[in-house]
């Protein structure tokens, strides 16, 4: 035994206290002043090089480490907390949530289960999520890393429940017929990963063509189900998307619920984008019928702006949920009293150890109240409407799809350019705006058409930010076209 045993605690707490104070002071300024910084900036080579240093064998003082973070990390964020970031579909984070992650780490608890306050908050937040989408209190749920995991949880419960066998014991090789899941061709890529991980294979996920509004074509869905039954396959589950990642389209949830009831299929809703419309005064009508689903995936790190990561899987039939994942090894038996006497929260998913991700959601919901989050969702919808109108009113800008929620698909199109040139032009505009740090949009190709895509899921955006976007796209587009046309004449687009 050494004379003085080692510990990770500091020898002098006051030095750490001072460093921690500085971190908090800087953090407040960092968020307060976010608008004055570029959305994004490229990292210089010397900064990149430092991230390739080998593992440190000996330690250094915490304030030196923080100094490196201040120079090498804080100036180079992804950008999603900036008011002019609208790429993919991200949340913009929030201060109370960030403090929640900090306090969760200070507490250091493991949410695998047990009887402690953090576990109660985890269960309370799941209960709040149920309330938000209109699920009964008898339903079940769990907080996970994000929407991909939430979908995997829901689909796994669907698979086991619909399999007709003891799937946990027998595995997929014992299935009487191959199971089939259905989603539209606009379905998120995580579902493919899910059916692969579930051992069903990518072919088990049948993509049903979407209609002109990018919603699942339900008569084609009916045909697909009938075809599969006739071919001896086992139709098991329809995955409806409430808010597709490309255009924000919302499948007809009521009609899909009717169809699933008539056909005896499980209805899962991927509500990572749109499920929380249910809490918005104006937006809620768009997801009417969502509570009829057997399972729902939603994503508090998107429209509740929780710092990454937190997703949520909800399952209407609590027994089916727990029956899919529960297992009690001898080292995790419940005790009659004490720390091990609480519910085992790991019984509702794939993880054993779980973080206290509930706290950041709990704190921001308590600070702002659900009504404000609902209004912020409606505000995003209004901003998307405004941007769409500005695009339609601006020469050389084309709205590619009617805007349904907060995703706006558009492109710079001066007319007369072939598709391949338009794609190159719009990609260049997008990248230039990012490199200049002025605004961040992403791009996608929907039903064969390339477009820029602004997902306005950002509580810091104001209308003038959207005006900046319109002007920057037009200005850069105009400047780029002559070069592009010259290039076309030089036949570089063969």
Ligand X SMILES: *Cc1c(COP(=O)(O)O)cnc(C)c1O
Q: Where do contacts with ligand X occur on this chain (CB under 6 A)?
A: 89, 146-148, 151, 188, 190, 241, 245, 270, 272-273, 299, 311
What does the alpha-carbon distance between residue 350 and residue 327 come to, in Å, rounded to a whole number?
11
Which residues lie below 8 Å from residue 195, measured CB to CB, with a gap of 6+?
Answer: 155, 181, 201, 202, 204, 205
Helices and strands per DSSP (H, E), number in the chain: 16, 11
Cβ of residue 196: shortest distance to ligand X, in angstroms? 15
Computed on alpha carbons and rounded to an integer, the radius of gyration of the chain in Å comes to 25
Question: Which of residues 252 and 428 has its CB atom nearest to ligand X in the complex?
Answer: 252
Cβ of residue 307: shortest distance to ligand X, in angstroms? 13
Question: Which of residues 191 and 383 has its CB atom nearest to ligand X in the complex?
Answer: 191
Question: Which of residues 188 and 316 has its CB atom nearest to ligand X in the complex?
Answer: 188
Question: Which of residues 148 and 295 has its CB atom nearest to ligand X in the complex?
Answer: 148
Instruction: Report strand pairing: 407-412 vs 449-455.
Output: antiparallel
What does the alpha-carbon distance between residue 395 and residue 418 come to, in Å, rounded to a whole number?
18
Are 461 and 39 spatial neighbours (Cβ–Cβ below 8 Å)?
no
Sheet bearing 397-399, strands edge to edge: 397-399, 407-412, 449-455, 442-446
Ramachandran area for residue 339 (φ above 0: left; ψ -120 to 50: alpha; else beta): alpha
Cβ of residue 301: shortest distance to ligand X, in angstroms? 6
Cβ of residue 81: shortest distance to ligand X, in angstroms? 17
Cβ of residue 58: shortest distance to ligand X, in angstroms? 38
Question: Which of residues 160 and 184 has its CB atom nearest to ligand X in the complex?
Answer: 184
Question: Which of residues 92 and 190 has its CB atom nearest to ligand X in the complex?
Answer: 190
Buried b (16+ CB within 10 A) or exposed e, 359-387: bbbbbbbeebeeeebbbbbbbbbebbebb
DSSP assignment of 69-80 equals HHHHTTTS--ST
Question: Which of residues 191 and 459 has its CB atom nearest to ligand X in the complex?
Answer: 191
Question: Which of residues 144 and 200 has its CB atom nearest to ligand X in the complex?
Answer: 144
Cβ of residue 448: shortest distance to ligand X, in angstroms? 20
What does the alpha-carbon distance between residue 214 and residue 449 come to, in Å, rounded to a whole number?
13
Question: Which of residues 153 and 474 has its CB atom nearest to ligand X in the complex?
Answer: 153
Nearest residue to ligand X by CB is 147
Cβ of residue 149: shortest distance to ligand X, in angstroms? 6
Question: Which of 104, 194, 209 shows the shortest CA–CA distance to 152?
Answer: 194
Between vectors from CA 319 to CA 313 and to CA 325, what angle results, nearest 5°? 60
What does the alpha-carbon distance between residue 214 and residue 235 come to, in Å, rounded to a whole number?
23
CA distance to 91, 243, 292, 325, 438, per residue, from 309 (Å):
10, 20, 27, 21, 26
Cβ of residue 167: shortest distance to ligand X, in angstroms? 24
Cβ of residue 166: shortest distance to ligand X, in angstroms? 29
Are 429 and 473 spatial neighbours (Cβ–Cβ below 8 Å)?
yes
Instruction: Report strand pairing: 266-270 vs 295-298.
Output: parallel
Are 178 and 202 spatial neighbours (Cβ–Cβ below 8 Å)?
no
Question: Which of residues 119 and 287 has its CB atom nearest to ligand X in the complex?
Answer: 287
Cβ of residue 358: shortest distance to ligand X, in angstroms? 16
What does the alpha-carbon distance between residue 351 and residue 344 come to, in Å, rounded to a whole number?
11
Question: Which of residues 151 and 379 has its CB atom nearest to ligand X in the complex?
Answer: 151
Are 367 and 306 spatial neighbours (Cβ–Cβ below 8 Å)?
no
Question: Which of residues 39 and 190 has its CB atom nearest to ligand X in the complex?
Answer: 190
Ramachandran area for residue 81 (φ above 0: left; ψ -120 to 50: alpha; else beta): alpha
Cβ of residue 144: shortest distance to ligand X, in angstroms? 9
DSSP assignment of 472-486 equals HHHHHHHHHHHHHHH
Question: Which of 313, 33, 267, 7 shows the shortest CA–CA distance to 146?
Answer: 313
Cβ of residue 287: shortest distance to ligand X, in angstroms? 13
Between vectors from CA 385 to CA 382 and to CA 389, what angle results, nearest 5°? 140
Cβ of residue 193: shortest distance to ligand X, in angstroms? 10
Question: Which of residues 149 and 429 has its CB atom nearest to ligand X in the complex?
Answer: 149
């Amino acid at each position: 035994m050494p004379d003085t045993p080692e510990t990770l605690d500091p020898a002098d707490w006051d030095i750490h206290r001072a460093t921690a104070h500085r971190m908090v002071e800087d953090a407040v300024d960092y968020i307060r002043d976010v608008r004055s910084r570029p959305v994004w900036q490229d990292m210089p080579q010397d900064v990149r090089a430092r991230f390739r240093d080998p593992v440190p064998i000996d330690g250094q003082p915490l304030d030196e480490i923080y100094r490196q973070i201040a120079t090498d990390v804080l100036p180079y964020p992804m950008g999603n907390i900036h008011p002019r970031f609208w790429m993919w579909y991200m949340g913009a984070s929030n201060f109370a949530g960030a403090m929640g992650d900090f306090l969760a780490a200070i507490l250091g608890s493991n949410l695998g289960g047990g009887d402690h306050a953090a576990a109660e908050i985890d269960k309370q937040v799941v209960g709040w999520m149920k309330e938000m989408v209109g699920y009964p209190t008898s339903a079940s749920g769990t907080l996970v890393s994000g929407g991909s995991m939430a979908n995997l949880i829901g689909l796994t419960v669907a698979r086991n429940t619909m399999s007709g066998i003891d799937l946990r014991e027998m595995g997929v090789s014992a299935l009487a017929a191959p199971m089939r899941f259905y989603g539209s061709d606009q379905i998120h890529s995580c579902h493919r990963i899910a059916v692969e991980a579930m051992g069903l294979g990518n072919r088990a996920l049948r993509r049903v063509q979407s209609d002109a509004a990018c919603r699942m074509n339900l008569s084609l869905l009916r045909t697909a189900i009938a075809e599969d039954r006739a071919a001896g396959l086992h139709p098991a589950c329809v995955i409806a998307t409430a808010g597709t990642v490309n255009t924000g389209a919302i499948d007809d949830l009521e009609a899909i619920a009717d169809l699933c009831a008539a056909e005896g299929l499980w209805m899962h809703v991927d509500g990572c984008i749109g499920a929380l419309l249910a809490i918005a005064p104006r937006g809620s009508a768009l997801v009417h019928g969502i509570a009829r689903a057997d399972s729902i995936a939603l994503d508090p790190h998107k429209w509740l702006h929780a710092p990454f990561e937190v997703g949520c899987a909800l399952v209407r039939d609590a027994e089916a949920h727990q029956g899919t994942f529960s297992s009690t090894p001898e080292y995790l038996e419940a005790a009659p009293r004490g720390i091990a006497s609480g519910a085992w929260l790991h019984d509702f998913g794939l993880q054993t150890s779980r973080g206290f991700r509930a706290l950041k959601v709990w704190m921001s919901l308590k600070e702002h109240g659900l009504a404000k989050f609902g209004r912020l969702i409606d505000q995003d919808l209004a901003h998307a409407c405004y941007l769409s109108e500005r695009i339609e009113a601006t020469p050389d800008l084309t709205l590619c799809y009617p805007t349904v929620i907060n995703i706006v698909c558009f492109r710079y199109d001066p007319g007369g350019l072939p598709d391949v040139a338009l794609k190159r032009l719009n990609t260049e505009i997008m990248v230039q705006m990012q490199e200049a740090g002025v605004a961040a949009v992403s791009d996608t190709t929907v039903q064969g058409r390339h477009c820029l895509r602004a997902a306005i899921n950002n509580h810091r955006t104001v209308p003038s930010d959207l005006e900046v976007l319109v002007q920057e796209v037009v200005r850069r587009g105009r400047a780029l076209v002559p070069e592009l046309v010259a290039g076309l004449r030089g036949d570089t687009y063969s």
